[in-house]
Structure 1
Amino acid sequence: MTEPSETPEPSQASPRRRPQQQRKQVLLRLDPAVYESLARWASDELRSANAQIEFLLRKALKDAGRLPGDAGPMPRRGRPPRTPGQQ
């Protein structure tokens, strides 16, 4: 006689979440003066130039009504939180 399965039935399973996707890497060529201006603006707002570019792109997409509904939130700034058992 076999023992009952430990895995829950599909009706009892928790809803499937989309797996954490890797962030896309994009090569971006900018005029040096534009980059310097962007970097100063990012510094004023305590962001990296990369985070400032993403912030501005998301804002432009939202304003144009083109930000996808399944777009994740902006990544949190700073050091990632510790995981249990980490020293």
Structure 2
Amino acid sequence: MGEDAGTPKRGQERKSVLLRLDPAVHSALQRWAADELRSVNAQVEMVLRDALAKAGRAPRDAGPVPRRGRPPKGPDGTDSDER
């Protein structure tokens, strides 16, 4: 019924955020991400999701963590991001 206009629906485009970090913090985050076979972006999302959960503030309607690796092939056999 009364849906919140600010709440994204599942399947909607992911939000982009500009984040400024101290170079030493970025370097440490980059090493941590590499240890866990993630991109820095994916590692930041995991850290934020964990912090939200620990603080009892995890959104109930958040979509799942995106799968790692290449995007799935489309029905025509090409990558879904190829044009």
TM-based fold match above 0.5: yes
Question: Does structure 1 retain, via aligned residues, the 8 Å contact 2:52–2:58?
Answer: yes
Question: In terms of Rg, which structure is larger?
Answer: 1
Instruction: Could you tell me which runs of 5 or more consecutive residues in structure 1 were left unpaired when the two chains were aligned.
Output: 1-17
Q: For the structure 1 residues 48 and 68, does the alpha-carbon distance in structure 2 shift closer, same or farther, using more than 3 Å as the test?
A: same
Corresponding residue of 2:25? 34
Q: Identify unmatched segments of 5+ residues in structure 2.
A: 1-8, 79-83
Confirm whether residue 24 of structure 1 aligns to residue 15 of structure 2: yes
Q: Whole-Å Cα distance in 2 between the matches of residues 54 and 61 of structure 1?
A: 10
Aligned residues: 70
Q: Secondary structure at the match of 2:73?
A: coil
Q: Give the C-alpha shift of residue 79 in structure 1.
A: 0.8
Q: Kindly indicate whether structure 1 or structure 2 has the higher relative contact order, using CA contacts under 8 Å at least 6 residues apart.
A: 2
Q: Please give the root-mean-square deviation of Cα atoms over the aligned residues, in Å.
A: 1.3
TM-score relative to the length of structure 1: 0.75
Q: Tell me the distance in 2 between the aligned counterparts of 1:56 and 1:19.
A: 21
Separation (CA, whole Å) in 1 of partners of 2:42 and 2:28: 14
Alignment of 1:58 with 2:58, yes or no, is no
Give structure 1 regions of 4+ aligned residues with deviation exceeding 2 angstroms: none
Structure 1 CA distance for aligned equivalents of residues 76 and 13 of structure 2:
25
Paired-residue identity, %: 64
User: Residue 72 of structure 1 aligns to which amino acid in structure 2?
Assistant: G
